[in-house]
Structure 1
Amino acid sequence: MELRVVLAATQREYVAKLAEFLREEEPGWEVSAYTNASALRMELERKPDLLIGTRELVIGFRNAGGAAGKTIVLTEERDVRGEGFEGGAVSGEWETMALYQPLPSLLSGIRSETASQPSSARSGGAQVVTVFSSSGGTGKTTVALNIVRHAGEMGLRVFYLNLEALNATSLLFGRGEPDSFSRLMYALQSEAQGWEEAFRRLKRHQPQLRADYVDAPEHPGERLALQAETIGLLIDGVRRSGMYDAIVIDPDSGAGDWHRELLRASDLAIWLVVDDAQAILKADKLYRYWQGAAGSDFGPCAFVLNKATGTVAGPGMQNRWPLPCGLTEVALPYIPHWKAIDQPARVLADAAFAGAVERMCENLGIVRHSGKGANEKTRREVVHGGVQRARARGTG
């Protein structure tokens, strides 16, 4: 039975573990997870079949006007059905279940409550987010990995794809099998029927990020030989596998045809800039060039200021912003101690940066789960609102 299930709890580790368990045991369920009210509110607008949450989050939606078809409240207390839910907090009936119990027992209870629950139609697809920059040194990989980590913590199934010619993520992931990417691309282009099997065999899981990835090649030749058509096939292959809710892509900076195809095929391109006159000019030139070459086929793009020391377009911004589309509301802070970082995993451990990435993701709708099978228009509408807000703040 297919169900759209929303998990809501402020305990980040708990909700991530429960989401992962439900997906493993019930692959037909569409499971998304949230730890804060603002992101949860947007998800509940889609009227999920089942809301499972702790009291502090669920009670906040007493005026939601019908948040879910059915609600299960996770509580540390004894059954207090109905208490605190006056005024229309949730529509339909609700049950209470113990928050801390073996996950198989919790799943058994959920199954019994949803045995007669009708399922709603799936309406989305794996969201493809590319972190791009027209110049080096803007912190693409750091931002991409933090997006991946945040999406994984929200309970989404995430695939991280690094397409840099010179890839240093082995410092975080380990050396692995350097020919994995070559074998994957060979299978993609020559074994259409067996590609998914090869993909399942070659992908690996990174527990700290809660995401899958493919080992990077040892030498840059494989990435330098990428073609626009190949990029399209690769993205479509991963997306059609149905294994993921989000695909986060981390290419190198460049102005080639495959870079443009990558941004065209993405549901959102996060274009990083730093407060540097040359970097801003390069971004302006490349964006206008691609807009002219690709026209309306150029995908949604949000410019994000990284390594910020002040407010966007305020006293902390030393250079004028020339593009007609503005910067996003959220700027990512400069972290001075990263200059001397000796352990790559520490780029995932800074609370200020992680918090800014989380706010950016919510602002742009990056971690909103959209399910399987959506067409391109439906997927891109997920981030349309956030991009339009950024464009409205343009200072051109």
Structure 2
Amino acid sequence: MKRYQLAIVVKEKEYTRRIADYIRGNSFGERWQVSAFTHPNACKQFVKQGYAIDLIAAESDLLRELQPELSHIPSITLVARLGETDGEPELLQYQALPLLLQGITDQFEAMGHKPMRGFTPNSTSKGALVLSVHSASGGVGKTTLALHLAGAASARGLRMLYLNLERWNTSELWLQSGGDAAWDGEGLSELLYAIKSGSTSHAAWLAQHRKFHPQLKCDYLRGFRNQEDRATLLPADAAAMVESIAQSGHYNGVIVDMDDGLDELHYELLMRADRNLWVVSEERSALAKQSLMLQYGRQKFGEAFGRIAARSEVVYNGMNAELGNPMPAVEAALAPVALPLVREWRQGELHPVWSSSSYRAAADRLCAHLLGGSEEFRIHAVG
């Protein structure tokens, strides 16, 4: 893996010291060689002496002093508030270092530079692969599984984004700090508007507006600003949203958590998916609904739905190891991993998303199965 040269130019020595201390032993140091300067002339002299710089991250006034001599080098402005520059790449200077450093990498990739994660490009040239987490009925644990798969894949070194396309999106209860349901700021409504308007700068938008979950180690996007945007979401627009993320170059995987049921919107996303997980609970009614949905899909969509089914597996959720839970077969292939019954999650209280070691272990085994044993598998998920 090539290491790129990053120059950080800020006035505060303590700031550069904290960055240097953090990078030691961190995976960021495997991708970047970092040189820090507190004066622009020192950075200019560094270049004059023959040292290469691939990217400059600098405070706005210092960046102005670096130009025009170093204007040929890609740059990111470190700002106190986003929007200070006139559309130029920028990052908040004072934020958690993992977010800052990941933002630097993602901005660099958004500028058109080759991703530095060492994964084999998708042979189908579709960008990241698509996994659908889906079900015929609600309340079977799709969101819990989708979030855990994102966390499991992230723990394996894959760069993941969780995307919720449910009509009634409550994922912020787990994703936002303290379970705060306030969902302000730009999110899926703005991405949808950009797609409808024909904008092609989706990679830059993602780099600015995605959020990072510190426990799952994955990114996510805020939901629709209002219910009308989601209610009028067209199948083609939903597929375009997924495709824009898959093609952004930011991710090895994107997990989209979608409504239960089967209509044209579901069909469009399932057709785009490279792998699909259908989640069923131990309730017999959930199994019956899943079977009816599969029958309906074959009747309505014909041969095309057969191609979807061939890429799909059923995942049992809530298996009771004490009782064995014998369950009737569903008309689809079974995934080799069943998800355990977590009794403490059934107490009616909001549970931390990463709180069950047994469920995490099962999700990791399922993730390994989906990756096919390869750490170089690009996985994109829709659910």
TM interval, shorter chain, is: 0.5 to 0.7
Distance in 2 (CA, whole Å) between partners of 1:120 and 1:278 is 41
| 1:350 CA drift (Å) | 0.7
Conserved? CA contact 2:202–2:248, under 8 Å? no
Q: Which has the higher contact order (CA 8 A, sep 6+)?
A: 2
Match of 1:247 among 236, 241, 254: 254
- Tell whether 2:303 aligns with 1:309: no
Residues 170-212 of structure 1: per-residue CA shift (max 9 Å, x gap): 2233334255211111011213333332232222222221111
Question: Which residue in 2 is equivalent to 1:98?
Answer: none
Residues 332-363 of structure 1: per-residue CA shift (max 9 Å, x gap): 0111110226444x231211110111111112
Structure 1 window deviating more from structure 2 (143-152 vs 186-195): it is: 186-195
Structure 2 unaligned segments of length 5 or more: list them.
4-24, 35-117, 177-181
- Tell whether 2:288 aligns with 1:261: no
SS of equivalent residue, structure 1 residue 209: coil
The code of the aligned residue for 1:151 comes to: A
- Tell whether 2:196 aligns with 1:185: no
SS of equivalent residue, structure 1 residue 253: coil
The code of the aligned residue for 2:314 comes to: F
Question: Which residue in 1 is equivalent to 2:128?
Answer: 126
Question: Which residue in 2 is equivalent to 1:46?
Answer: none
Distance in 1 (CA, whole Å) between partners of 2:325 and 2:306 is 30
Conserved? CA contact 1:156–1:367, under 8 Å? no
| 1:128 CA drift (Å) | 1.7
Distance in 2 (CA, whole Å) between partners of 1:198 and 1:149 is 23
Cα 1:155/1:284, change in 2 over 3 Å: same
User: Which has the greater radius of gyration?
Assistant: 2
SS of equivalent residue, structure 2 residue 257: strand
Query: Number of aligned pairs?
Result: 266
| 1:266 CA drift (Å) | 1.0
Distance in 2 (CA, whole Å) between partners of 1:123 and 1:170 is 31
- What pairs with 1:194-343 in structure 2 (closer than 5 Å)? 194-217=201-224, 219-292=226-299, 293=301, 294-298=304-308, 300-310=311-321, 316-323=324-331, 325-340=332-347, 342-343=349-350
| 1:131 CA drift (Å) | 1.1
Question: Which residue in 2 is equivalent to 1:355?
Answer: 361
Cα 1:236/1:123, change in 2 over 3 Å: closer
Distance in 2 (CA, whole Å) between partners of 1:309 and 1:25 is 50
The code of the aligned residue for 2:308 comes to: F
Conserved? CA contact 1:154–1:367, under 8 Å? no
Match of 1:156 among 158, 165, 168: 158
Cα 1:179/1:225, change in 2 over 3 Å: farther
Question: Which residue in 2 is equivalent to 1:375?
Answer: none
Conserved? CA contact 1:127–1:370, under 8 Å? no
Structure 1 unaligned segments of length 5 or more: list them.
4-16, 27-118, 373-378, 381-396
Conserved? CA contact 2:261–2:293, under 8 Å? no
| 1:322 CA drift (Å) | 3.9
Cα 1:254/1:121, change in 2 over 3 Å: closer
Cα 1:135/1:296, change in 2 over 3 Å: closer
SS of equivalent residue, structure 1 residue 306: strand
Cα 1:295/1:350, change in 2 over 3 Å: closer
Residues 142-172 of structure 1: per-residue CA shift (max 9 Å, x gap): 1111111111111111011011111112223
Distance in 2 (CA, whole Å) between partners of 1:301 and 1:120 is 24
Cα 1:135/1:203, change in 2 over 3 Å: same
Distance in 1 (CA, whole Å) between partners of 2:298 and 2:374 is 27
Distance in 2 (CA, whole Å) between partners of 1:304 and 1:162 is 19
Distance in 2 (CA, whole Å) between partners of 1:269 and 1:177 is 31
Conserved? CA contact 1:157–1:243, under 8 Å? yes
Distance in 1 (CA, whole Å) between partners of 2:368 and 2:360 is 12
Cα 1:21/1:129, change in 2 over 3 Å: farther
Distance in 2 (CA, whole Å) between partners of 1:156 and 1:253 is 27
Conserved? CA contact 1:338–1:347, under 8 Å? no
Percentage of identical aligned residues: 27
Distance in 1 (CA, whole Å) between partners of 2:120 and 2:172 is 40
Q: What TM-score do the two structures reach when normalised by structure 2?
A: 0.62
Residues 235-290 of structure 1: per-residue CA shift (max 9 Å, x gap): 11111111000111111212111111111111111110112222111111212322
